Amino acid sequence: MLKAPDHQVAGHQALDGHLGPLVDDSGCFYKPLQNDERGSKEVAFYEKFISLTGIPSRIRRFFPIFHGTKNLEASDGTGMHPHLILEDVVFGCMKPCITDIKIGSRTWYPGASEDYFQKCISKDGNSTSVSLGFRVSGLQVYGSKESDFWKPNKKIVKSFTPEDVRLVLRRFVSSDVVPGIDKDVTPDCSLASRVYGGSSGVLAQLSELKEWFEDQTMFHFNSCSVLILYEKDLALRGKSGGAEVKLVDFAHVVDGNGVIDHNFLGGLCSLKKFISDILTDTNKPLSEACLPEMDTSADGL
């Protein structure tokens, strides 16, 4: 049986007769191909990526496993539709805390139509993309109690300021969850060391990705997202929470032509700085924590 994902936090959702991704009970995520060239470009990226021999396994683990394509009954009831078959990265998780972070100070790609270009300029300028080099596109966070859960709607997420982003990334690794943006409630960040820190935590994984992006010139990852996820119950019990970083959404990837992807690298450095500051600054009130300046250089961190 295919169904809409319970834990999708951004993008088009397969609800109320709309076309969106589906999941099964065996760990597969079925993403409908967009009808224009974006769908074929995403397939082409996955096919090229898996065929390249120069990408180390430590980097491949940041990308969902690609299992090809398949025609399936579309979630909007319009009949058969081609879908990407990908790894369901939250399969088996009971309480996955997830945040989707779109990377880059600009999300448009070379050759984009004027309409798409103007849409991206507006979204980037009205969000934290330009000021921080990334923006939160969606998230869900569980608390320590069954009733503690926060999954803000798109309107709230779009309104996030740089200060809100800092608050959200702190609340993401706190034991309890207070729905909404309440700057008078300081998150405890009690899970920061288990999720963000350690040799296999989020910061270490972002550092590994950063090292690769400082060298790789095969691709430019326009409008791609970093997913950060962990299992809340494990983290509350003193475990690492199985923190993982994944890259998703490759419809606008273009050839790098021997040039470093400074747009993505800059956003990745900025996100890494935010996470690092939370790890070293968790005992300070939010009002005393300074927002880091974005560093877009490859050797800035």
Residues 87-130 have pLDDT tens digits of 999 988 888 999 999 999 999 888 888 998 999 999 999 999 99
Q: In whole numbers, what is the pLDDT of the chain averaged over residues?
A: 87
**Token pair 């319009």: residue:** 78
What mean pLDDT comes out for the span 194-218?
95
CA gap 68, 273 in Å, rounded: 36
C-alpha distances (whole Å) from 282 to each of 44, 69, 166, 241 are 43, 44, 11, 19
Q: Where are the beta strands (DSSP E) in 133-249?
A: 134-142, 149-150, 219-221, 225-231, 244-248
Strand pairing of 80-87 and 219-221? unpaired
Residue 240, pLDDT > 90, answer no
pTM over 0.85? The answer is: yes
Identify whether the C-beta of residue 105 lies closer than 8 Å to the C-beta of residue 130: yes
Q: Which of 281, 207, 274 is nearest to 245 (CA)?
A: 207
pLDDT digit string, tens, across residues 140-174: 999 877 778 889 988 999 999 999 999 999 999 99
For CA atoms 211, 214, 215, 218, the dihedral sign is positive
Q: Above 80 in pLDDT, residue 228?
A: yes
Residue 106 CA neighbour count, 13 Å, CB half: 12
C-alpha angle with apex 171: 178 to 226, nearest 5 degrees?
130
Share of the chain above pLDDT 90, in %: 59
* pLDDT at 301 exceeding the cut of 50: no
For residue 297, the model assigns a pLDDT of: 45
Give the model's confidence band at 282: pLDDT under 50 very low, under 70 low, under 90 confident, else very high: low
Contact 23, 5 (CB under 8 A): yes
* In contact, 33 and 39? CB cutoff 8 Å: yes
Helix or strand or coil: residue 19?
Answer: coil
The Cβ of residue 119 has, within 10 Å, a number of other Cβ atoms equal to: 14
Look at 43-52, 58-67, 177-186 and tell me which has the smallest mean pLDDT: 177-186
Q: Span 291-295, mean pLDDT?
A: 46
Backbone angles phi, psi at 118, to 5 degrees: -65, -35
Domains within the chain, CATH numbers bracketed: 22-87 (no CATH), 96-299 (3.30.470.160)
Nearest to 133 by CA among 96, 172, 94, 105: 105
